[in-house]
Chains A and B, each alone.
Chain A
């Protein structure tokens, strides 16, 4: 079993729709969690950290469920510019111990 698992997609979603991704992790000692966005042939960029109480940044909402060991990302009112691959990242301890999911590809269609 991979340490961090994501549905690779692609998710094909019409513009304006709401889309949600889940990511599961295997290490119960995981300490912090992130969502990154990666555009085609570009570097990953931090989208948002995921806090225990859940957090929102504009159209994006992240949730953490420690009991079931998953995190989620919800995108409301999706835009064409949201098309990208979304990477789930888990920190299992220390600055270097980030475990990366393989990503979920999202395609927003007009």
Chain B
């Protein structure tokens, strides 16, 4: 059963530390999304890639966040330095862009707590 795999599932870190979240998209999918979910803001798009190239990262605080796809099987989201306001659940999703839409399949998320 193909699925998006995210690691770690939970992360607790101290303010100022670097955090790296990883995502393995479903094999063959050409689109990867990073979303952040909080109670206050709901689901926010941070970045998305098509064929490993970033298409939109306007939702990401550029001074501390970075997203990359070193290869087709790995997407990373880094926060450096982390702050308490970054505490949230971070979801990766992958999909296959077709003519009219991209249907996204979500991982189970990384719950980040910055203390």
Please determine whether chains A and B interact with each other in the same assembly: no
**Which B residues form the contact surface with A (CB < 8 A)?**
none
